[in-house]
Structure 1
Amino acid sequence: MSTLEEHVDIDVPVDVAWESLHRVESYPRFLEGVREARTEGANRAHLDVEAGGRAQAFDTQITDRADTHTMEWKTTSGPDLAGSFSLLPIDQQHTRVQARIEYDPSVVREAFGGPKGFAQATAIERLVRNDLEQFKGVVEQGR
């Protein structure tokens, strides 16, 4: 199992970032490859994704730890992926968003194609970094 951690600092209070993170329908605006996203009942989301020329649909289970501003998620269908988003207040107007993704490289390659080994890890890092930057832009513009 591989683990990736990335973060970005955004210019909004932690509560604004927390609310934005929970707007599942806005995920296509900042998550590359997500074509549609919707909530499906309490603590569940469905995502339609296109990656590596392949269309995939998967469901996720979401667990909130609101007291620490942490959202944990794991897929319940599709490729076996899990992770978390932790929001850490820097001060009253700034928040650090930390993403942690756990994945099996062979599962990712089988599900989405792409490179192997170090090249795959680099591609995933770049993707997560870009998604966090996109999230930053969406949240800061929506203020």
Structure 2
Amino acid sequence: MSTIEKTIDVDVPLSIAYDQWTQFETFPEFMQGVESVTQLDDTHLHWKASVLGVSREWDAEIVDQTPDERITWRATDGTTNVGTVSFAPAERAGGTRITLHMEIEPEGIVEKVGDAMNIVERRAEGDLERFKDFIESRGTETGAWRGDVTP
């Protein structure tokens, strides 16, 4: 299992950054390789992505969600992955610090080689940079879900 942890500061208020992150179906707009995310209900998502040219689909469940603090998920089938995205005030007033922590289990030789070359880690870093550009250029969220999910 590989662990990835990346942090970025975005220049929007915490509630806007958090609210946008709850709009999972917009992820293909800033996450490289993500073809679609379908929200099945408040806690279940279906993902379609291409990882190093290999198509993958999996379902994920949100297992812990606290507005303006964190969203934690785990894959329920397909590609093994778990993670948390956390939100906190940034040092710069009015900004938000976002920390992404993921643990993934590469499948197949192509993904294992890509993992060894830190491609997934670089992709996660790029996804956070693209999220920053996306939300800062908009200045506001495309929607929000502020429900609690408790483990």
TM-score range, shorter chain: 0.7 to 0.9
RMSD of aligned residue pairs (Cα, Å): 1.9
Name stretches of at least 5 consecutive residues in structure 1 with no aligned partner: none
Equivalents in 2 of 1:67, 1:117: separation in Å?
A: 32
After the TM superposition, which parts of structure 1 deviate over 6 Å for at least 4 consecutive aligned residues?
A: none
Look up the match of 1:135: 131
1:4/1:101 contact within 8 Å kept: yes
Look up the match of 2:37: 37
Q: How far does residue 37 in structure 1 lie from its aligned partner after superposition?
A: 1.1
Look up the match of 2:62: 62
Moved more, 4-13 or 43-52: 43-52
User: What TM-score comes out, normalization by structure 1 length?
Assistant: 0.87
Equivalents in 2 of 1:54, 1:21: separation in Å?
A: 25
Map of 1:1-143 to 2, 5 A cutoff?
1-66=1-66, 69-90=69-90, 92-104=93-105, 108-110=106-108, 113=111, 115=113, 118-119=116-117, 122-143=118-139
Equivalents in 1 of 2:33, 2:18: separation in Å?
A: 22
Aligned residues: 138
Give the structure with the higher percent helix: 1
Equivalents in 2 of 1:75, 1:112: separation in Å?
A: 20
Q: How far does residue 116 in structure 1 lie from its aligned partner after superposition?
A: 5.9
Equivalents in 1 of 2:32, 2:114: separation in Å?
A: 20
Name stretches of at least 5 consecutive residues in structure 2 with no aligned partner: 140-151
Percent sequence identity over aligned pairs: 26
Letter in 2 for 1:126: R
User: What TM-score comes out, normalization by structure 2 length?
Assistant: 0.83
* Secondary structure at 1:18 match in 2: helix
1:109/1:115 contact within 8 Å kept: no
Change (3 A) 1:40 1:96: same
Equivalents in 1 of 2:2, 2:51: separation in Å?
A: 19
Q: How far does residue 23 in structure 1 lie from its aligned partner after superposition?
A: 0.5
Q: How far does residue 6 in structure 1 lie from its aligned partner after superposition?
A: 0.5
* Secondary structure at 1:115 match in 2: helix
